[in-house]
Amino acid sequence: MDTALDTTPLGHNVPLAERAYRIRRNALLMGEVQGQGYIGQALDIADVLAVSYFHAMKYRPEDPHWEERDRFLLSNGHYAIALYAALIEAGIVPAEELETYGSDDSRLPMSGMASYTPGMEMSGGSLGLGLSIAVGIGLGLKRKNSASRVYTLFSDGELDEGSVWEAIMSAAHYKLDNMIAIVDVNNQQADGPSTQVMAFEPLVDKLEAFGWFVQRVDGNDMDAVVAAFDAAKSHPEAKPRMIVCDTKMGKGVPFLEAREKNHFIRVDAHEWQLALDALDAGRTA
Amino acid sequence: MSTAANTTAKPRLKTSAMIASIAAEGQRTKPAPFGHALVELAKQRNEIVGMTADLAKYTDLHIFAQAYPDRFYQMGMAEQLLMGAASGMAHEGMMPFVTTYAVFASRRAYDFVHQTVAEENRNVKIACALPGLTSGYGPSHQAAEDLALFRAMPNMVVIDPCDAHEIEQVVPAMAAHNGPVYMRLLRGNVPLVLDEYDYKFELGKAKLLRDGAEVLVISSGIMTMRALELAQRLETDKVGVAVLHVPTIKPLDTETILREAARTGRMVVVAENHTVIGGLGEAVAGTLLRGGVAPVFRQIGLPDEFLKAGALPTLHDLYGISTDAMAASIKGWL
């Protein structure tokens, strides 16, 4: 298959499934550039990013600092490959930059940083930072009487960080109903399955007890994710909103889904093309 | 076996473990200069907000909270959240003045300051009470290494003011600088000294407060106050002591330091309320070495050890940073 980029702009009526496919494809192409990347996570979170950028959030691709935009914080900075894939699909980052991923002088470093990339609102990498920043942004938006929301994507492993719970407690204290957090429960972190590294369940009960409006969905079920984002936006209570997304590492590429689960999925040099082929096969199926 | 005689004679043990002011008895002071200066500045700058981690009353931020309750944010006893949320506020165009104790901002929240404030270059102003050895509580509250930690952080401006007169000028200067700043905060009744020296704070500038032919003391913070005292004392011994006050630890005014240190015949003594590792002393030493200036060089500072708990005057004598101890050290070196 020819992996040359198709940079034709997409119209507004592109189905979310197609957006998710293209985000996954962008991520695989970037992974191929470096021969590595957190591709398992990028594939698992692509559906959530498609809903975020093509259903839920307001932004102007040509003006990443537009004051009325919704803010999107990538707390799990190692998911940068996934967010770049979405930013490219959204037209915030030019598609030509895809092939610079992780290279010297690229605007797309392997870990997400605010000063490098248009549309990247925070510097992640050190896990557990995003929700605290989001609390400040949520408070700041309210000071400005802004109708914008702050979305924060973080990973289940970050639940181990005490600061995450500091932020969760304070968001409820300040009734930050402009705050929507998404936790990716793929049950993988550096040293093994997240629930074995540190038991965080029952997560919904905990978050509700902390004063949040909480939904738990299959993060790879597009309709369920759309419904959850809609409910998070329209929920009437003055509470911060959490969407717990159960996702599958490697989603969309069956041989990666089946691979022994690991925080950092190894992909051999010849397998990137196979992965792209498998993704395409799933698209037409 | 108590007797009337020894009960009346027994002196009451004094401790300054909970000291709210660094001022010596009888010293001229001003109450809460940081809090009042911030209230004044906030009249003109609507973007200023105050944020703290359960230490408003102990950092003079309560003055701001009373004046502007809707611009004050209590983040609870959570310093990491405090720094991250301040970054978020700055992201939205606010200018947060953030307070806690120096130990918590530097040691507990270091990564948050490093990543969410300094790396993102957010316009966050961090003002921390109990810098260096200004608490008798022991290492939990003694920030002997705060300057070393914040000096090592790119983008961070680091200021160690001497007295109330200076703090009043530092607060608007922090706001005028676009980027993160760390200020060592003196709280409560703060000594008033520099108003008698026709002194004006300028960010990044060292100022010669008095001249002298035998010794050049280079100092910051409360050590400048003490250097001025010892200079007066040594005058009676016919020892001329110059005092170069360096309130901005970073960026360091290397030009003025090199010029003053290059004047021949003077011993250079750096005096700092900080561990001798990584603070003003080593910053000056590096400056001199790189600048090819090699005077006789001595350091007055806290030792590389966990400091004791106790009464502050006792501890300052013990570790050589009281005026008496400094004077004795310098006489011994001459």
Q: Are residues B85 and B165 in the same domain?
A: yes
Question: Can you name the residues that pair with B183 across neighbouring β-strands?
Answer: B127, B159
Q: Are residues B253 and B109 in the same domain?
A: no
Q: Is B133 helix (H, G, I), strand (E, B) or coil?
A: coil
Decide which of B168, B191, B214 is a domain's last residue: B191
pLDDT band at B16 (very low <50, low <70, confident <90, very high): low
Across the interface, of B78, B88, B90, the residue whose CB is closest to A134 is: B88
pLDDT band at B33 (very low <50, low <70, confident <90, very high): very high
Q: Distance between CA atoms of B288 and B255, rounded to whole angstroms?
A: 10
Across the interface, of A139, A150, A166, the residue whose CB is closest to B80 is: A166
Distances from the Cα of A9 to the Cαs of A21, A47, A90, A251, B181, in angstroms? 15, 20, 9, 25, 44
Does the pLDDT at position B10 exceed 80?
Answer: no
Question: Can you name the residues that pair with B73 across neighbouring β-strands?
Answer: B51
Does the pLDDT at position B304 exceed 90?
Answer: yes
Q: Check A136 against B92: CB less than 8 A apart.
A: yes
Q: pLDDT digit string (tens) for A33-85?
A: 988 889 999 999 999 999 999 999 999 999 999 999 999 999 999 999 999 99
Residue B199 near residue B166, CB atoms below 8 Å: yes
Q: Can you read off the two tokens belonging to residue B72? A: 């004050």
Which residues from chain B sit within 8 angstroms of residue A137, using beta carbons? 88-89, 91-92
Across the interface, of A113, A115, A136, the residue whose CB is closest to B91 is: A136
Which residues from chain A sit within 8 angstroms of residue B85, using beta carbons? 132-133, 135-136, 139, 167, 170
The answer to the question of residue B255 being in a domain is yes
Does the pLDDT at position A262 exceed 90?
Answer: no
Q: Are residues B173 and B46 in the same domain?
A: yes
As a dihedral over the C-alpha atoms of residue B58, residue B60, residue B64, residue B69, rounded to 10 degrees, the angle is 10
Q: What percent of chain B has a predicted confidence (pLDDT) above 70?
A: 94
Q: Distance between CA atoms of B296 and B162, rounded to whole angstroms?
A: 25
Closest chain A C-alpha to B318 CA, distance in angstroms = 38
Q: Chain B: residue nearest A148 by CA? A: B92
CB burial string A221-259: b at 16+ within 10 A, e below: ebebbbebbeebeeeeeebbbbbbbbbbbbbbbeebbeb
- Cα angle B40, B66, B221; round to 5: 55
Q: Check A126 against B85: CB less than 8 A apart.
A: no
Q: Which of A107-111, A254-258, B23-27, B325-329 has the lowest mean pLDDT?
A: B23-27
Q: Distance between CA atoms of B326 and A274, rounded to whole angstroms?
A: 73
Residue A108 near residue A100, CB atoms below 8 Å: yes
The answer to the question of residue B17 being in a domain is no
Segment B279-287 mean pLDDT = 98
Q: For position B176, which CATH number holds?
A: 3.40.50.970
Q: Chain B: residue nearest A172 by CA? A: B75
Does the pLDDT at position A285 exceed 70?
Answer: no
Interface test with A, best of B51, B81, B108 (most A CBs within 10 A): B81
pLDDT band at B25 (very low <50, low <70, confident <90, very high): confident
The answer to the question of residue B18 being in a domain is no
Closest chain B C-alpha to A80 CA, distance in angstroms = 16
Q: Check B89 against A140: CB less than 8 A apart.
A: yes
The whole-number pLDDT of residue A1 equals: 36
Residue B125's nearest CA partner among B108, B151, B100, B148 is B100
The answer to the question of residue B264 being in a domain is yes
The whole-number pLDDT of residue B24 equals: 84
Which residues from chain A sit within 8 angstroms of residue B91, using beta carbons? 71, 121-122, 133, 136-137, 140
Q: Distance between CA atoms of B328 and A118, rounded to whole angstroms?
A: 59
Q: pLDDT digit string (tens) for A90-129?
A: 999 999 999 999 999 999 999 999 999 999 999 999 999 9
Q: Are residues B169 and B260 in the same domain?
A: no
Q: Check A137 against B91: CB less than 8 A apart.
A: yes
Distances from the Cα of A54 to the Cαs of A121, A165, A226, B15, B293, in angstroms? 18, 30, 10, 64, 63
Alpha helices (H) in chain A, listed in sequence order? 16-34, 39-51, 80-89, 130-143, 162-173, 194-197, 203-209, 222-234, 254-257, 271-284
The whole-number pLDDT of residue B9 equals: 63
Which residues from chain A sit within 8 angstroms of residue B117, using beta carbons? none
Across the interface, of A113, A129, A136, the residue whose CB is closest to B86 is: A136
Segment A215-237 mean pLDDT = 97
Q: Check A166 against B93: CB less than 8 A apart.
A: no
Which residues from chain A sit within 8 angstroms of residue B83, using beta carbons? 132
The whole-number pLDDT of residue B323 equals: 97
CB pairs under 8 A between A and B: 99
Number of CB atoms found within 10 A of residue B309's CB: 16
Q: Distance between CA atoms of B16 and B313, rounded to whole angstroms?
A: 8
Decide which of B191, B224, B244 is a domain's last residue: B191
Q: pLDDT digit string (tens) for B262-277?
A: 998 999 999 999 999 9
Q: Distance between CA atoms of B38 and B51, rounded to whole angstroms?
A: 12
The whole-number pLDDT of residue A7 equals: 43
Does the pLDDT at position A139 exceed 70?
Answer: yes
Q: Are residues B146 and B232 in the same domain?
A: no
Q: Are residues B112 and B213 in the same domain?
A: no
Q: Is B134 helix (H, G, I), strand (E, B) or coil?
A: coil
Residue A204's nearest CA partner among A193, A213, A195 is A213
Q: Are residues B115 and B139 in the same domain?
A: yes
Instruction: Label each residue of B24-90 as H, E or C.
Output: CCCCCEEECHHHHHHHHHHHHCCCEEEEECCCCCCCCCHHHHHHCHHHEEECCCCHHHHHHHHHHHH
Closest chain B C-alpha to A139 CA, distance in angstroms = 7
Segment B62-80 mean pLDDT = 98
Q: Within an 8 Å CB–CB cutoff, is residue A187 touching chain B?
A: no
Q: Check B120 against A122: CB less than 8 A apart.
A: yes
Q: pLDDT digit string (tens) for B145-155?
A: 999 999 999 99
- Continuous segment of H or E residues that includes residue B313: helix B312-318
Q: Check A136 against B120: CB less than 8 A apart.
A: no
Q: Can you read off the two tokens belonging to residue B148? A: 């070393």
Which residues from chain B sit within 8 angstroms of residue A169, using beta carbons? 76, 78
Does the pLDDT at position B176 exceed 70?
Answer: yes
Ramachandran region of residue B16, left (φ > 0), alpha (ψ -120 to 50) or beta? alpha
Q: Are residues B133 and B278 in the same domain?
A: no
CB-based contacts of A84, cutoff 8 Å, min separation 6: A26, A27, A30, A93, A98, A101, A108, A117
Q: Check A132 against B90: CB less than 8 A apart.
A: no
The answer to the question of residue B91 being in a domain is yes
CATH pick for A17-284 out of 3.40.50.970, 3.40.50.1370, 3.40.50.80, 3.40.120.10: 3.40.50.970
The whole-number pLDDT of residue B274 equals: 98
Q: pLDDT digit string (tens) for B207-236?
A: 999 999 999 999 999 999 999 999 999 999
The whole-number pLDDT of residue A9 equals: 45
Residue A134 near residue B88, CB atoms below 8 Å: yes
The answer to the question of residue B7 being in a domain is no
Give the mean pLDDT of chain A. 93
Which residues from chain B sit within 8 angstroms of residue A144, using beta carbons? 92-93
Q: Are residues B184 and B215 in the same domain?
A: no
Decide which of B161, B191, B221 is a domain's last residue: B191
Q: What percent of chain B has a predicted confidence (pLDDT) above 90?
A: 92
Closest chain A C-alpha to B120 CA, distance in angstroms = 6
Segment A273-279 mean pLDDT = 96
Residues in A 96-155 with any Cβ partner in B closer than 8 A: 113-115, 121-123, 125-126, 128-129, 131-141, 143-144, 146, 150
Residue that the structure tokens 């190692």 belong to? A78
Residue A201 near residue A195, CB atoms below 8 Å: yes
Q: For position B241, which CATH number holds?
A: 3.40.50.920
Segment B303-311 mean pLDDT = 97
Q: Which of A92-101, A250-259, B1-10, B70-79 has the lowest mean pLDDT?
A: B1-10
- Amino acid identity of A230? D
Number of CB atoms found within 10 A of residue B41's CB: 19
Task: Enter the pTM of the model.
Answer: 0.94
Which residues span the domain enclosing B98? 29-191
Q: Residue ranges of the domains in chain A?
A: 17-284
Q: Is B174 helix (H, G, I), strand (E, B) or coil?
A: helix
Q: Check B49 against A143: CB less than 8 A apart.
A: yes
Which residues from chain A sit within 8 angstroms of residue B84, using beta carbons? 129, 131-133, 135-136, 163, 167
Q: Are residues B172 and B213 in the same domain?
A: no
The answer to the question of residue B8 being in a domain is no
The answer to the question of residue B137 being in a domain is yes
Q: Are residues B101 and B163 in the same domain?
A: yes
Overall domain count for chain B: 2
Q: Check B84 against A115: CB less than 8 A apart.
A: no
The whole-number pLDDT of residue B19 equals: 56
Number of CB atoms found within 10 A of residue B38's CB: 29
Q: Are residues B73 and B155 in the same domain?
A: yes
Interface predicted TM-score of the whole assembly (ipTM), two decimals? 0.94
- Amino acid identity of A27? A
